[in-house]
Structure formats: structure tokens, C-alpha cells
Structure 1
Amino acid sequence: MTPSERHGLWYGVAGVAIFALTLPMTRLAVGTADAPLMSGVFVAMGRAAVAAALSALFLLVTRAPWPRAGEWRALAITAGGVVFGFPLLSSIAMRHVEAVHASVIIGVLPLATALVGALLHRQRPSPAFWAFAALGSVLVVAFALLRSGAALRLHGADLLLLGAVACAAVGYGWGARLSQRMPAEHVICWALVLALPATLPLAFWSRPAMPLPASAWWAFGYVAVFSMWIGFFAWYRGLALGGTVRVSQVQLLQPFLSMVFAVPLLHERLDALSLGFALAVIATVFMGRRMPVARVPRLPVLSPAVESR
């Protein structure tokens, strides 16, 4: 592993640690079906609008250059995944499921991100890499079933969470691709600013109509400043330095970090089963990161003179 890849993994760990608080904080902000607080639309669009304001200030202070013509499309796809898709679907779902349950469903995100990254970045992971990635995902799913004791069927909230996974994987892949051409922190900032004409009106339209507890606003502030903004500074830089396919596997730690954070925030219990599966998943991450990931060479483009021979 090169020094750049090693630094990328550490940036990825920092990003995952920040993202791990997203679901518990979202749960605090939206409340439950019996005691609703903020709407999922407001949490998703409001946090994006706040982060966009911070992004505009950051871009202005740092005198960031405007994206080139060919980069706006990739920024739009990135925004569709991580500014609209994941926050909106996950925020709506969090009113109907506990943070622990949502965390383990989101645990399939590393495999989805690796698939998108392999396609976008022309990377060819070894069979051993895919084996450890699949094993980590299987462990996460097995933990979800053992923890919940539910039947093998998906509810509406589960479908929303799986849709959020797909959106996040696409947004991570395209954002990582852009991070190879512009500073990682500029990627999320421009994506948020690009989305502001839609997120700001939606946030205003869905704003709470009644007083809310301070805890809900503190939770909203976290997902706006950290989950939607600062976390991406580290995450996209990690993907750019270490490679999307390899660094994506660090996300396998996110469900278990979320559970650790949920204990004091949501008064949930962290038992031996959770710790055992956490150690097993950490082992798959450790072994998977040591497996080779090759880049598929591009075919040479022949000149017309050569092609005519």
C-alpha cells in the first residue's frame, strides 16, 4: 500500500466517524411516529441549505475557481445522490425505524460504493477483495436479522433506506471522480451551491410550524454542518487518495460506530452480540484493504492513418 493510499484510508476513517452520527442525530431531529418533530423533508433540505450557505462563504474566502464546463454534469449527479437522494430518503425513513436498525441496513453501502467506483474509475479488484467485501456485507445483514429477530421481508422504511444506499453510492462515486480534478472540499461545496435553488425553497416550505425541543435543533445543526459539509471534506479526499473501491470498505465500520453513539443519545443497549459482530467486520476491513486493486488500462486510440491500414 502506498503512502497516498494509507492517507486516503485515514481520511476515510475520519469521514466515516463523522457520518456515523448522522442516523442517530436524524432520529433525534425527526422524532418517532408516535412523537413526531421535524419532517424528513425539512431535515434533508434544511441541512443542505445551511451547508450551501457555509459552502458559498468557503468558496468565496478561498477564491475557488469556477468548475469547468465538463464538470457541471458530474456535480449535478453528485448532488442528486448526496444532497437530495440519501438525505431525503433516510430522513423520511428514520421516523419509522430505530437508529440501530437503520444503521445495519445502511451497512450494505460499502459494497454498493465499491461497485460504482469500480465502474467509474476503471478499477479491477481482485477476487479476494470482493470476497472480503461480500463477507463484511453478509455479516452486517446477519447482524440485522439476529438483532431484530424479524422475518425476511422488507418494510417501506427498509426500501427507503435501500434507495438511500443506492443514491449515496452514486454520489460517492461521482464525487470521488471529481475529487481527482478539483480539491475534495470544493466538490461538496459546489454540489451544495448548485442544489441551493431547490433546497432553500423546499426547506422554507417544510419548516416546522410549532416550537421544538432544543435537542432536535442541536441534532439538525449537526447533520447540517458535519454530516452534510465537513464530513465530505475528509470523505472525498480519502476516496481520491486511496481509491473509491478500497476506501469504501471503511464504511463497514459505520453501523457499529452509529450504535456506539446511539447508546447515550437514544438510550439503546450495546450488547456482546454487537461487539462480536463489530470485531468480525473490522477484521474483514483489515484483510480487505490488503488485497490488490488493479486499474484497467485504457485501450490506445489509433490515429486515422493507422486505422486505415
Structure 2
Amino acid sequence: MEQTSNRVNPALEKTSGWINGFIGVVIFSGSLPATRLAVLEFDPVFLTVLRAAIAGLCAVCLLWLFRERRPARNQWLSLVIVALGVVLGFPLLTALALQHVTSAHSIVFVGLLPLATAIFAVLRGGERPRPVFWIFSMLGSALVVGFALSQGLTASPTGDLLMLGAILACGLGYAEGAKLSRTLGGWQVICWALVLSLPLMALTSLWLAPASLRTISVSAWICLGYVSLFSMLIGFVFWYRGLAQGGIAAVGQLQLLQPFFGLALAATLLHEQVSVGMLAVTLGVILCVAGAKKFAR
């Protein structure tokens, strides 16, 4: 695993970026369905810290194996932001939200991830998108709010608010990690963020561990393994590497495919009902985010 080199053919580098980014999106698409199954038997807070602790131990092994140097002093703040966004914020908020809403319902909110990432890219990266960008941004947000209202906001306002918070946390973590990956390296960013979080996550896991885990089913353990190894670590290895190789604005658009993959998994694995309206809203959000991305620069 080597950091991006300027000697690599630019065309091949971009192609590799798209491939890595696509693999990352496919891996992330299974996160919400797997979390939905896991929180049926695991406490959501315990699940969050345990998955981060498992991934953190794997990250320590990777960094030791490849003898990576420690990040520079000016990179630690960005790593803290990445850790708060994608190691703690998004997993915890989605685990809590999925106690109130189905994974199919939550996946509609994932359609806002590219938009959230773009907004934080503006705030953190100093980009100045065209006015048309904000039109698409408001339209996409209106679709999501309208969908929540049409479902009856009183049914689970907590779940919807938690999902919105999760998207904001993840968007910030994506944007900050993508910016940092240009200098630190794609897979190194998530590994150092996990290592930074490991002491707290490991201690909290021991503190929150239930007296017995004998009642946990095999499927729940498999879901824990998936969200720990794939959602928390392996997916980011491909995702951040893809962003570094192919460009944040270009490869970031692959996130638009994630709701479709996620809805398919929710319907196939969890046998959840995916309504025509839900698909229409997801498609509308994707179109709005695609338009916003087009005018992001």
C-alpha cells in the first residue's frame, strides 16, 4: 500500500480511482442493513464502540506492518475531525436512528451524503460554487423533508433527526478525510483516525459489555464483523484511496449510487418493503445532488 505517486500515468490513476471508489461505495451500501440487524441484539452504543475498537486494532496492525510514519502536527486536528465524523458520529447516530426507522427509510437520507460532503468541502476547503449549486441543494433538502412529512413526522421524529445528524457528521468526515488524504495518503487517514479513537473505544467497550453474550445469534455476530471490518476500515481504504487518485469532486459522485445499492440490500436481505414513493424520492434526491455537483466549481 503506497501513497499516490506522481510517476503513475494520469489516465490509469483516474481509472484506478474510479474502481477503488466504486468498491468503497458497494461496501458502504451494506452498512445500514447490517447495522439494522445488529442493533436488534446489540445495544447501539456498545455496537458503535465495539466496531470501532475492532477496526482500530486492525488499523494498528496495518500501520505497524507497513511501518508508517506518524502524521505531522498540523494533521492531527484533521484526524480528530475525521474520527468524530466517521468513527464515532455516523456509526453512533445511525445505530440509534435504526432503532426507530427501517434501513430502507434511512437509506433515503444517505442520498444527501454527496451534498453534505460538498457543503463541508466549501466550508473547509474554501471552494466557491456557482449560485445554481445552492438551488439544487435546497431542492434536494426539500425532497427529504417532504418525504419525512409524508411518512408522518410524528411516527419517528427522533429517527429522522438522528439520521440528519448522522449525514452531517459523515459529510464532514468525508470532506476532511478527502482533503487530508492528498498529503497523508488514502488508507492512512482512516487508520490513524481509528488508532486515535482506539483507547476511548476499547475502554468504553469493556465498560458497556453485557454480562453475557450467549443469546447473540450468529447473524448478529456476522453483521458486527461486517460493520467492523468492511464498513469501518476496508471500505475507507478503497474510498479514500479512490478520492486521492481520481479527485474528490469526480469520484465523490459515486456516492449517488449508494441509496440504490442499499435499498436493494434492504429489500433482499431484510425483506423490508420499498415503496414506489421511496424510490421516487431517492431518485429525485440523486438528481438534485448530481446537479449540485455539476456546479460545485
The TM-score by the shorter chain falls in which range? 0.7 to 0.9
Superposition CA RMSD, Å: 2.7
Q: 1:254 aligns with which of 235, 241, 258?
A: 258
SS in 2 for 1:63: coil
Output the amino acid matched with 1:97: V
Matched, 1:28 2:32: no
C-alpha separation between the residues in 1 aligned to 2:296 and 2:16?
16
Larger Rg over CA atoms: 1
1:137-156 aligned within 5 A: 137-146=141-150, 149-151=151-153, 155-156=157-158
Q: 2:167 aligns with which of 161, 165, 168?
A: 165
Partner in structure 2 of residue 119 of structure 1: 123
CA deviations over 1:150-180 (Å, ceiling 9, x no partner):
1478622222222212211221121111101
Partner in structure 1 of residue 80 of structure 2: 76
Which stretch of the first structure deviates more once superposed, 280-289 or 53-62? Answer: 280-289
SS in 2 for 1:95: coil
Moved over 6 A (4+): none
Contact 1:117 1:245 in 2 (8 A): no
Contact 1:41 1:202 in 2 (8 A): no
Q: 1:219 aligns with which of 218, 223, 245?
A: 223
Contact 2:115 2:289 in 1 (8 A): no
Partner in structure 2 of residue 18 of structure 1: 27
Partner in structure 1 of residue 55 of structure 2: 51
Structure number with the higher helix fraction is 2
Contact 1:114 1:246 in 2 (8 A): no
C-alpha separation between the residues in 2 aligned to 1:67 and 1:139?
41
User: How many residues of Structure 1 are paired with residues of Structure 2 in the alignment?
Assistant: 285
CA deviations over 1:2-60 (Å, ceiling 9, x no partner):
856665455433322211111110010011xxxxx101111111111111111111111
Output the amino acid matched with 2:81: I
Partner in structure 2 of residue 203 of structure 1: 205
Contact 1:41 1:88 in 2 (8 A): yes
C-alpha separation between the residues in 2 aligned to 1:45 and 1:38?
11
C-alpha separation between the residues in 1 aligned to 2:15 and 2:282?
22
Query: What's the CA shift for 1:270?
Result: 3.6
Query: What's the CA shift for 1:80?
Result: 1.1
Contact 1:139 1:281 in 2 (8 A): yes
Change (3 A) 1:17 1:278: same
CA deviations over 1:164-202 (Å, ceiling 9, x no partner):
122112211211111010110000001101111100011
C-alpha separation between the residues in 2 aligned to 1:248 and 1:168?
13
Change (3 A) 1:234 1:134: farther
Output the amino acid matched with 2:176: W
Contact 1:12 1:250 in 2 (8 A): yes
C-alpha separation between the residues in 2 aligned to 1:157 and 1:270?
18
- What is the TM-score of this pair, normalised by structure 2? 0.84
Contact 1:105 1:144 in 2 (8 A): no
CA deviations over 1:75-94 (Å, ceiling 9, x no partner):
11111111111111211221
Query: What's the CA shift for 1:129?
Result: 4.2
CA deviations over 1:66-106 (Å, ceiling 9, x no partner):
11121112111111111111111211221221111211233
Contact 2:109 2:164 in 1 (8 A): yes
Partner in structure 2 of residue 299 of structure 1: none
Change (3 A) 1:8 1:140: farther
C-alpha separation between the residues in 1 aligned to 2:202 and 2:105?
30
Partner in structure 2 of residue 303 of structure 1: none
Structure 1 gap ranges (5+)? 32-36, 295-309
Output the amino acid matched with 2:162: L
CA deviations over 1:204-249 (Å, ceiling 9, x no partner):
2222434211000000100000100011112222333444455444
Partner in structure 2 of residue 34 of structure 1: none
Contact 2:21 2:239 in 1 (8 A): yes
